[in-house]
Structure 1
Amino acid sequence: MTATTTAGTTNTAQGPAAGASTRALVRAWIEGWIVSRGTSDPMDRPWGWTIDAGTAQHVSRHVLPEPAEDDVRALVAATSAPGTWLKLFAEDEAVRPWIGAGWQFDQPGFLMTVPLAAERPEVPAGYTLTSWTRGGTTRVLVRTEEGHFAARGQIAPTGPTAVADQIETSPDHRRRGLGSLVMRTLQNTAYEAGATTGVLVGTPDGQALYTALGWVTRSPMASLYFKPSRD
């Protein structure tokens, strides 16, 4: 483990990922996500991959980079376990007619990429930044000088790509450049590890930050989970 402490809408993609298919980018995202979250290896399926996440609210997920109606309907019909998720790389409205009772839509996601480069972000006054690496994942934590949580994030380099994950800024510390600090620090870590392209799936709120930092939206993602009614 290493540790350091320091005070103080779809566009045209650029860089190495520019010619990559959605399927290839989704696979790259999966490779980093499973390292970041410590899940099972992805299991190949004709339509994509299945991953066991292993928590009560997220038992497993089926990832379909190019969702087809017949495949989605078959998965929906075969699912009886609460905590099963579907990650469908399409707009919510495109897949909504294929979904049956008991399925809930989470907020939509956006598959994004960025060419990585050296970054030297400055820590804003009044904050400290700590980072550490364990199990192939680097985590960044930003706190106030009093030690209060302000922001965090993590990244998992897996060869030429690196997946940023679980980026969060406390509501009390937003609009102070901390999200940018976290992202640029993580991007620099991945660049120094030899990765050339960053990959993530962002929320609608995160998409604006990532776009401002040069990330490009490559595909929408519908995210839904099975939670049948108790009635």
Structure 2
Amino acid sequence: MTTDHPVTTDNPAGAPIPLGTRVVVRYRLPAGYSHPMTDVIGDLVSLEPVVVVRTAEKKLVQISPSTVVALKALSARPIRIAEIRSLEHAAAAGWPGLEQAWIDGWFLRAGGGFTGRANSATPLGPRGTVGHPHDPDVRARLREWFAERGLPLRLLLPDRLVPTPEGWVPSGNRVQVMAADLDNVPLPPSVGPVVVSPEPDGDWLSLYRGGDLPEVAGAVLGAVVAGTLGFGRIGPPGARPVAIGRAAITDAPDGRRWIGLSAIEVAPEHRRRGVGTLLSGSLLGWGRELGATHAYVQIEGDNTASRELYSGLGFVDHHRYGYVTEPVG
């Protein structure tokens, strides 16, 4: 932050506190007040030219940097189980595979074996309606549905929704879901050099996963349930893009409209130049124009670079999920 009166931040890492972080700001009051200082708690919206905090009541408090005594990051507000379930509803609709079904409170997806999300069962039914996979009848119904499609029984288990069945085998890395209120995300005024199309073309697909894709990949990428897709790219048409990304806008049961970013890839020769941040911010701006109020990303494993990128845009950790497969025998 550039100012004659730098803000003191209580951040053990010594790095700037990312926008969107829940903070407490202590600042001096003008002469004549009964007490010299006061505090405000909320989400950090801006550090310059003034410090802006959005309170839980959605009130924007603007504070002159010269009056700030300290600014401290707080732990994120606890996430309720209902919020996890609701976000996962929106995410499942945004990456639904090619076939879907509801069985015993589980949302089943099949997508020809391409990606774990599109070929798994997630416990998204209302509380008390989800059958436990230890129940042999529930397990048999789930297994039969996937077996008919030539797939193993794989469960996608978000934090705190259903306990991991004993003896089931973890598969793949755990995934960190990060989320943001779009009011807290610094978005560009327009998409700028980013072009957003309703479907991916061959050049877009040539950059995604290095172009090494099964035949079913295009159909899985182009699927959405009751939502809108946008495929962003930076680079001239008719050439391999500099960067690509997929955005899915879907509604959650709690009334929030989410935009989920996925398939964000930057050509190797253009990495570490802010291209991924520009693309992500532009896609989020596109989503907000279409009514999205919140955003999420799903980061597999220990992807430090992606976590840093989205933390810088104001995303915070929401929950995690992992996969387990039915044991053999």
| TM-score category, normalised to shorter length | 0.5 to 0.7
User: Which structure 2 segments of 5+ residues have no match?
Assistant: 1-20, 23-41, 44-55, 59-76, 200-221, 223-227, 252-256
Task: Provide the rounded CA distance (Å) in 1 between the counterparts of 2:189 and 2:266.
Answer: 17
Aligned position for 2:133? 71
**Residues 1:120 and 2:182 are matched in the alignment:** no
Letter of the structure 2 residue corresponding to residue 182 of structure 1? L
Is contact 1:86-1:225 (8 Å) kept? yes
Tell me which of 239, 242, 252 is aligned to 1:150. Answer: 242
Partner of 2:196: 131
CA contact (8 A) 1:114 1:216 kept: yes
Deviation for aligned residue 1:183: 0.9
Deviation at 1:192, TM superposition (A): 0.2
What is the aligned partner in structure 2 of residue 3 from structure 1? none
1:150, distance to aligned residue in structure 2 (A): 2.7
Higher RCO, 1 or 2 (CA under 8 Å, sep at least 6)? 1
With 76-85 and 190-199 compared, the bigger mean Cα shift is at 76-85
Conserved? CA contact 1:152–1:167, under 8 Å? yes
- 2:120 equivalent to 1:61: yes
SS, match of residue 54 in structure 1: coil
Q: What is the CA-CA distance between 1:225 and the residue it aligns to? A: 6.0
Q: What pairs with 1:75-114 in structure 2 (closer than 5 Å)?
A: 75=139, 78=143, 81-82=150-151, 85-90=154-159, 95=164, 98-100=167-169, 105-114=171-180
Query: How many angstroms does 1:196 deviate by?
Result: 0.5
**Which residue number corresponds to residue 21 of structure 1?**
83
Identify if the C-alpha distance between structure 1 residues 33 and 56 changes in structure 2 by more than 3 Å, giving closer, same or farther.
Answer: closer
Cα deviation for residue 191 of structure 1 reads 0.2
Q: Which amino acid aligns with 1:63?
A: T
- 2:187 is paired with a residue whose SS is coil
Q: Which amino acid aligns with 2:264?
A: I
Cα drift, residue 184 of structure 1: 0.4
Q: By how many angstroms is 1:85 displaced? A: 3.7
Q: Is the 8 A contact 2:179 2:295 kept in 1?
A: yes
The CA deviation at 1:130 is 2.6
Q: Percent identity?
A: 19
Other-structure match for 2:297? 200
Work out whether residues 133 and 165 of structure 2, in 8 Å CA contact, stay in contact via their aligned partners in 1: no
Write the deviation string for residues 94-134 of structure 1: whole angstroms up to 9, x where unpaired: 8485314xxx622221122111247217999xxx5332135
Q: Which moved more, 1:196-205 or 1:53-62?
A: 53-62
TM-score (norm 2): 0.50
The verdict on how the C-alpha distance between 1:218 and 1:123 changes in structure 2, with shifts beyond 3 A counting, is closer
SS at match of 1:120: coil
Q: Which amino acid aligns with 1:200?
A: V
State the number of aligned residues: 205
Paired residue type of 1:43: A
SS at the partner of 2:93? helix
2:191–2:286 contact (8 Å) kept in structure 1: no
Post-superposition Cα deviations, 1:175-230, rounded to whole Å, max 9, x if no partner, equal 111111111011001100011011232223233322221112111111356898xx
Residue 141 in structure 1 maps to residue 233 in structure 2? yes
Contact persistence 2:194–2:282 (CA under 8 A): no
**Is 1:214–2:276 an aligned residue pair?**
no
Q: Give the corresponding residue for 1:51.
A: 109
TM-score (norm 1): 0.68
Secondary structure of the structure 1 residue equivalent to 2:92: helix
Given that 2:190 and 2:282 are in contact with CA atoms closer than 8 Å, whether structure 1 keeps it comes out as no
Query: Deviations along 1:14-33, whole A, 9 cap, x unmatched?
Result: 68997652111111211222
Tell me the SS of whatever aligns to 1:156: strand
Contact 1:53–1:61 (CA under 8 A) maintained in structure 2: no
The question of whether the paired residues in 1 share the 8 Å contact of 2:187 and 2:281 is answered with: yes
1:221 and 1:168 map into 2 onto residues whose CA distance is 22
Amino acid at match of 1:86: L
Matches of 2:232 and 2:176, distance apart in 1: 22
